[in-house]
Amino acid sequence: MARLCFALYAVIEKAKKARSTKKKSKKADCPIAWANLTLFDYKDQLKTGECCLYMWPSVPDEKGELLNPTGTVRSNPNTESAAALIICLPEVAPHPVYYPALDKILELGRHGEHGRFTEEEQLQLREILERRASGELYEHEKDLVWKMRHEVQERFPEALARLLLVTKWNKHEDVAQMLYLLCSWPELPVLSALELLDSSFPDRHVGSFAIKSLRKLTDDELFQYLLQLVQVLKYESYLDCELAKFLLDRALANRKIGHFLFWHLRSEMHVPSVALRFGLIMEAYCRGSTHHMKVLMKQVRPRAQRPHPRLGSTSGQGQPGPFRITEAAPPGLPMPPSCPPVQGEALSKLKALNDFVKVSSQKSPKPQTKELLHLCMRQETYLEALSHLQSPLDPSTLLAEVCVEQCTFMDSKMKPLWVMYSNEEAGSEGSVGIIFKNGDGEQARPLGGPAEPLASSHRACTALRGPWGVASEGEQRGSPRTLGPGHGGGVENPLETHAFPSGAGGHRPPAGHADSADDPAHGRSVEAGGLGPEVRSPSCVCPCARPKTLSLWKGPLPKLTLPPQEKRRF
């Protein structure tokens, strides 16, 4: 569907160089804000009348673009500080105007020409289509591809994306002929279908055709592309779209897909431009999977404030005040200045413990701080919140009771916690480790983008072993899957069924080694492309390696460098 793009910008004068002799200074356009508006609503009715658009602040980029055509069509919900643009759309008819129905469009498209072409033209077509997609076509080449579109359908169906790019979407006759041709187009391979979900192809009929080609994906294959498909939702113009329906259908049919879909959506609920869309999809999933909703509530829903017998009560007008441990500390240990609030759930408790360790480790030696950490974790409210959880990284892994005596923290700057659990898997006698990292010194970078780069990266990495899984639980919080200490650093394929082995050896942090497990000097860090529901990058781990810990962190991912013996040239 067509959309209007608006931009608010300032014209500023560039600063002159010290030795410049030019009298006139150059002027530059400085973007301030932008907004988008669809011309037709979700009922295919042409919009008319006055409309107020609250604009989004512009972020300067290298291209210096003023308009943002791929941005959201929703108004900025922060109406108090956003610039407001009021426009008036004219009345073009005395009655409501609707977008033509698909059958009428197809009737117009039946009359397209279908002629014969010389052998030289067919060779030219093959050469153009086999050329790398990054190259721009000349106008005469575009005209030739469009003229021979039926040949493309019969002989080169995987080049549909190239044909769509040369279609003149501002000419309704060409649009009708393209959509008519699309109705009889053969199904595409997965990578070719993924290209059609790129923001370069906003037509909803093209998106529906791409989803039709993706329905043959198995659950394991869909899991590989789930993060990118969630990111593609941001480019949809309407809340009700085929991609959202497809993801919901598969999520309700497979608990693992539903688990990761929920967390991919939940991790970006703090982003105003997608909060409404992602929230509605999460609600639809939870309404359709009430049993899974009860499990998820323990991880994301805070409980009501209540005092604890060992802690002080709230202070002020019912607001939480500083909490203090009232039972006696071990002999010779100072009391912690304050124990964090206890009304949160598992992630809040881990963050509170980590903050306490950071403060206490500056004043006390590590053994004393470790004992104070154990003292806090033995409190009933902490044990209750941190026990019997479902792993965000693997819903088949149940974290049972916290093994307080085995818990510790590392010596790196952010003092990551190493929390040990007993495993609830049948017949399991071992423990599962969790690394929780709160904050990072590096600035976060966005993750996710169009689906076409995904297809390209997939082709480049087909010989590699698998992706590196990271599940995000919210803004600057997530769970990367890592190997335990003693494995030289690295990552494991999240699709392996043995991702969380039980058994005794190697689960407990070895003395003198766990504390430096995330130290860059030990060669343990991968630069992940920033925050996002799941970071996927090539894994260079030995096939026999098995992950021993699950790592939770708050903040951008650490830099993970592979040991010299495991480096590969890509």
162 lies in some domain: yes
Q: Kindly state whether residues 119 and 83 are assigned to the same domain.
A: no
Pairing type for strands 84-89 and 49-54 reads antiparallel
Residue 525, burial from CB neighbour count under 10 angstroms (0-12, 13-18, 19+): middle
269-288 per-position pLDDT tens digit: 999 999 999 999 999 999 99
Residues 37 and 127 in one domain: no
State yes or no: pLDDT of 61 exceeds 90. Answer: no
Overall average pLDDT of the 403-413 stretch: 89
Distance CA 348, CA 405 (A): 21
Indicate whether 62 belongs to any domain: yes
pLDDT digits (tens, 9 = 90+) for 111-151: 777 778 888 998 999 999 887 655 688 899 999 999 999 99
- Asked, for residue 140, whether it belongs to a domain, the answer is yes
Q: Is 315 within the bounds of a domain?
A: no
Asked whether residue 552 carries a pLDDT value surpassing 80, the answer given is no
Percent of the chain exceeding pLDDT 90 equals: 43
Write phi, then psi, for 86 (nearest 5 degrees). Answer: -105, 125
Does residue 394 sit in the same domain as residue 463? yes
Return the pLDDT at 466: 37
Same domain, 42 and 146: no
Do 178 and 60 belong to one domain? no
Residue range of the domain that includes 83? 3-13+26-89
Shared domain check, 563 and 439: yes
* 450 and 543, same domain (yes or no): yes
Assess if residue 21 is contained within a domain.
no
Tell me which of 68, 89, 110 is where a domain ends.
Answer: 89
Same domain, 502 and 547: yes
Residue 343 covered by a domain: no
For residue 174, what is the domain's CATH number?
1.25.40.70
**Whether 85 and 121 share a structural domain:** no
What is the spatial distance between Cα 508 and Cα 382, in angstroms, rounded to a whole number?
21
150 and 289 housed in the same domain = yes
How far are the Cα atoms of 22, 267, 374, 473, 525 from residue 518, in angstroms, in the given order? 56, 24, 22, 21, 7
C-alpha to C-alpha distance for 533 and 536, rounded to whole angstroms: 10
What stretch of H or E contains 28?
strand 27-38
- Among 243, 228, 298, 198, which Cα is nearest to 533's? 228
Copy the structure tokens of residue 540. 């260079």
Range from 21-30, 422-431, 547-556 carrying the lowest mean pLDDT: 547-556
User: For the segment 464-476, what is each residue's pLDDT rounded down to a tens digit?
Assistant: 333 445 556 566 5
pTM of the model: 0.70
Q: Is there a domain that residue 394 lies in?
A: yes
Residue 336 counted as domain residue:
no
For residue 550, how far is the Cα from the chain centroid?
19
| 396 and 455, same domain (yes or no) | yes
Single out the residue of 284, 286, 312, 316 nearest to residue 301, CA to CA.
286
167 and 51 share one domain: no
**Domain count along the chain:** 3
